A and B are shown apart, each in its own frame.
Chain A
Amino acid sequence: MALTADSRDLLSARPPLRRRLTNGVATAIMMAAALTALIALLLVVFYLLKKGAHVITWDFLTSDIPRNVRAPAGGVYPAIIGTLVMTGGAAAMAIPLGILGAIYLNEFGKQRPLARFIRFMADVMTGVPSIVMGLFIYTIWVVRFHSLSGFAGALALGCLMLPIVIRTTEEMLRLVPDELRQASQALGARTWRTTLAVVLPAGLSGIISGAMLALARAAGETAPLVFVAGIVFEPNRTLSGQNTALPVQIFRNASQPFPGAQERAWGAALTLVAIVFAFTLLARLISRRFSTGPR
């Protein structure tokens, strides 16, 4: 090859047309894929607003659930309360336990066989279908105590949240630089003190946002609640006794042909999505605003 041709190639380093075309087509396909996801999201949100927005009134949000699904009006107030009470109960159980478990994995267990096994099984547990979790709570709680209750629902949701909290918290603890731990130890602080007073606060924003994502997922769960939580038509602000939740109301109303039921389903769906999106976006905001990153 002549020297001049070589240097000209280097100067105008442009691949031949066919290769550039392939590259362009591939890039376009990737963009189209991202666009598909956008369209799917927009379609769902559009119909939620179209069919749900006019249903949501102060009355809808504060009235009791009608006992008859054919009834034209009524509201979802008891379901909103039930969702808050049961996900709240689940969070109160799963978040402390999950954070403690993550502390074990990252601060004590590290790469020991037991810790690696627990870490692996926590990952596997995130894949357990929610309906199986519901059956599990049914068999150990409802069958044993012969009662459907909001507490059983909270237990099921808590089991679903636990592995998510453990894994996200551990990721955050791993980002806390070792120098902080060493500095704390050098001041004479015990491991428990170092962990609670130095490591946890350092990773707090990430832990909170992970917990909120888990909460958002639990709030949208339907399947386990359908057969462990029972049904109520008036608000039940406690975990004892039967309860209901927004997803359950959507499910019960969705397959009913009556216009009133359809309206309640869409209204409840919009309410639920608003709650869940608020949690998700807040979680992202918290993790972005306060994230310190690897220092």
Chain B
Amino acid sequence: MTTATADVRSSGPGDALTARDRGALGDHLFRWLALTAGLTVLAILALIAFSTTQQAWPALSQAGIHFITSAQWIPNDVDGSGPLKPSFGALAYIFGTAVVAVISLVLAVPVSLGIALFVTEVAPRRVRGFVVTLLDLLAAIPSVVFGLWGLAVLAPNIVGFYGWLHRVFEPVPLLGTLFGPDANGRSFMTAGIILAIMVTPITTSIMREVLLTVPRTDRDGALALGATRWEMIRGVVLPHSFGGLTGGVMLGLGRAMGETIAVALTIGASAQITGNLFKPGNAMPAVIVDQFGEATGDFRSALIALGVVLFVITILINVTARAVVSRAERRLQGA
């Protein structure tokens, strides 16, 4: 800084020009350095796609479309004993991933929207700061801690509640199936509840950002017309931000599907497709982390293939969600 100033002060116009030329190299280098750093993101994403697919190829080419349509997951090491040939059908795990993610969103989205509205529309400044810190802390708790809590505290304590739900809703057609007889507390539902707690801070923070883009004048207009705060929210804030809120929900979905450890500890590790949410199941990320240690050869390749499927799904969800959010935000800010 000081030398640059000194340069300018001591030199005439001609010297200043040469000085600029000397520094041009630094600028070029810096620009390229920064560009390279930016390109790393693209390089890593491309490498993830390439490298994992390459390692997954033996299993994928062997199983073909059965990988996502069959529920027969029989890894290599079982086949020595008899008629069972190794087979990699991940349908039960894809099912589990989807079920758990849906449960978590059904629970988390209303709560997140409530908190986001509370923070942006209702809460006084102090309370707002408190709630935001609270969400930050909730978001900071590691996945494995939620898993431990779900396994040791939630699962044993919630079994009674599951049983009660089952008894109450048994005669009701759809709910009777969903709330079936329970086993030991480790189930789709328990994993879904844990995921809901983990997803809430993320969806809330995105919903907050979206709600903040609703123009002040629109809110004031509604209030000036005599609307109550809730009528203002329903008539102005929610319609305005609907697109962005949808995007926020989808980002939560992506997060819920990729969550590994908390699900691995609470879902119960049992490959089954069932309508009973109180039964144990399994999800793609949980299968990978549970079985990777003892896997070799094609089995390992199949687990990596599970990762590829997961990667593709989450990328699709994220790309769509980000596009929706940024389009909604642009539209609102332009309005």
Task: From A54-62, A67-75, A191-199, give the one contacting chain B.
Answer: A191-199
Determine the chain B residues whose CB is within 8 A of the CB of A182 once the complex forms: none
Which single member of A23, A118, A251, A276 contacts B42 (CB below 8 Å)? A118
Determine the chain A residues whose CB is within 8 A of the CB of B48 once the complex forms: 128, 132-133, 136
Determine the chain A residues whose CB is within 8 A of the CB of B303 once the complex forms: 135
Indicate if the CB atoms of B230 and A251 lie closer than 8 Å: no
The interface size of chain A toward B, counting residues with CB under 8 Å, comes to 96
Least Cβ distance of B5 to chain A in Å? 6
Least Cβ distance of B60 to chain A in Å? 14
Indicate if the CB atoms of B111 and A37 lie closer than 8 Å: yes
The reply on A97 being an interface residue by CB < 8 A is yes
The reply on B37 being an interface residue by CB < 8 A is yes
Q: In the complex, what distance in Å separates the CA atom of A40 from the CA atom of B193? A: 11
Chain A residue nearest in CB terms to B303: A135
The reply on B115 being an interface residue by CB < 8 A is yes
Residues of B37-70 whose CB lies within 8 A of A: 37-42, 44-45, 47-48, 51-52, 54-55
The reply on B242 being an interface residue by CB < 8 A is no
Q: In the complex, what distance in Å separates the CA atom of A131 from the CA atom of B47? A: 15
Chain B interface size range: 35 or more
Task: From B75-83, B127-135, B175-183, B272-280, give the one contacting chain A.
Answer: B127-135
Indicate if the CB atoms of A255 and B230 lie closer than 8 Å: no
Indicate if the CB atoms of A125 and B41 lie closer than 8 Å: yes
Interface hub of A33, A108, A222 (most chain B Cβ within 10 A): A33
Indicate if the CB atoms of B30 and A191 lie closer than 8 Å: yes
Least Cβ distance of B142 to chain A in Å? 3
The reply on B261 being an interface residue by CB < 8 A is yes
Other A-B pairs beyond A38-B134, A139-B51, A227-B293, 8, CB < 8 Å? A30-B117, A123-B318, A135-B303, A140-B51, A192-B31, A223-B261, A226-B292, A276-B140
Residues of B within 8 A of A (CB): 1, 4-5, 7-8, 16, 19, 23, 26-27, 29-31, 33-42, 44-45, 47-48, 51-52, 54-55, 110-115, 117-119, 121-123, 131, 133-138, 140-149, 151-153, 197, 200-201, 204, 226, 228-231, 233, 251, 254-255, 257-261, 264-265, 285, 288-289, 292-293, 303-304, 307, 310-311, 314-315, 317-319, 321-322, 326
Of the A-B pairs whose beta carbons lie under 8 Å apart in the complex, a sample of 14, sorted by A's number, is A22-B228, A22-B230, A26-B233, A104-B35, A108-B34, A118-B41, A120-B326, A124-B315, A129-B259, A129-B311, A135-B307, A193-B26, A266-B152, A284-B133
Residues of A within 8 A of B (CB): 13, 15, 19-20, 22-23, 26-27, 29-34, 36-38, 40-41, 43-44, 47-48, 51, 97-98, 100-101, 103-105, 107-109, 115, 117-118, 120-125, 127-133, 135-136, 138-140, 143, 159, 162-163, 166, 187-193, 195, 197, 213, 216-217, 219-223, 226-227, 247, 250-251, 254-255, 262, 265-266, 269, 272-273, 276-277, 279-281, 284
